[in-house]
Structure 1
């Protein structure tokens, strides 16, 4: 084995580290804007918190409150928010916003960090 291989591997890891460090922190408060499956618009708030290996989402939309639980896999956050309902599926964007769909793909939501 070449003595350069460990050095090259270390250099690669160090070069890759800043990209991971730039990933925004997922947990905290968000402002949400979306479209229901019927096309009507809504807005409100979302708070994401950590609970062991789970992630909890607490939405407040008008006078309604909803709670979901799920996991982050790569840049995809899936939150099951109601029994027997399709989950909310977000993609974590480089700027920290979450772009998502719910209602079996017929509804959309964008969550921006506060």
Structure 2
């Protein structure tokens, strides 16, 4: 198991193609996926985010990543009980995460270098 910081994430709101996806008992439920930057390694790992509430997911949250059959799984670090509360900021709730300082990514997680690299990359051939 390794700890890291959530770099970016999204929510899968529809069932993936089957096969290879096998729906769990009770049917499909939306789930979060993200890239977790591992501490001290600079490596970003794609993982399913095992969180009780999708509204609690935010860039910069601390996660523990564990290898599993298939895609790695990540859950909030038990050593960081503020994994969700700190992101809510003053006033709390989802909206507070996207206003003012709460919206700024933690140091080292700026997407600016990636955006600049994408801008400088010449387009490749288009598949038909």
Task: Judge same fold: TM > 0.5, yes or no.
Answer: no
Highest Rg: 1 or 2?
1
Normalized against structure 2, the TM-score is what?
0.27
Normalized against structure 1, the TM-score is what?
0.30
More helix by share: 2
More strand by share: 1
